[in-house]
């Protein structure tokens, strides 16, 4: 993730410094930064809060670094509600959404009911496909 590397470089931090911020080994953080592994949304949120930027910015969905009144925490209950709203606004059943994302219906239902934290890759797919903000879906910003 080029933007994550650039944010780190801008304030002269080493990969080990950033790994310590999220409580990981340097090698684990390095695998996120070079794109070998997908960074979990909770770790990404911690880093975005540290660097004071949006998740959308880090993932390349916008060039706007920060949104007005951006909240630091992910609101799991609001995330579930917004996922359901997104699905309904696009006239998609839970079964169809699960098929689109190549997951089970019960997994999708778990995201909508806030039982499970939705993974970064699925959030990214939803944001790209439906032209929405990950920060919005996670309840970090209002529309």
Give residue-wise pLDDT tens across range 63-85.
999 999 999 999 999 999 999 99
Q: Taking the mean position of all CA atoms in its chain, how far away is CA 34? A: 17
Q: Enumerate the domain spans of the chain.
A: 2-58, 76-137
The CATH code of the domain at 76-137 is 1.10.260.40
Longest dimension (CA), the chain: 47
CATH superfamily entry for domain 2-58: lambda repressor-like DNA-binding domains (1.10.260.40)
**40 and 121 in contact (C-beta within 8 Å)?**
no
pLDDT for residue 95 is more than 90: yes
Instruction: Say what the pTM is.
Output: 0.94
């Amino acid at each position: 993730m080029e933007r994550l590397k650039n944010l780190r470089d801008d304030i002269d931090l080493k990969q080990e410094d950033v790994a310590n911020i999220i409580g990981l080994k340097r090698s684990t953080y390095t695998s996120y930064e070079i794109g070998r592994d997908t960074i979990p949304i909770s770790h990404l949120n911690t880093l975005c809060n540290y660097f004071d930027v949006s998740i959308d910015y880090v993932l390349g969905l916008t060039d706007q670094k920060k949104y007005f009144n951006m909240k630091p925490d992910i609101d799991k209950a609001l995330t579930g509600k917004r996922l359901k709203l997104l699905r309904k606004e696009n006239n998609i059943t839970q079964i169809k959404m699960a098929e689109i994302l190549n997951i089970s219906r019960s997994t999708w239902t778990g995201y909508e009911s806030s039982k499970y934290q939705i993974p970064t890759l699925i959030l990214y797919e939803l944001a790209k496909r439906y032209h929405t903000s990950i920060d919005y879906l996670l309840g970090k910003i209002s529309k």
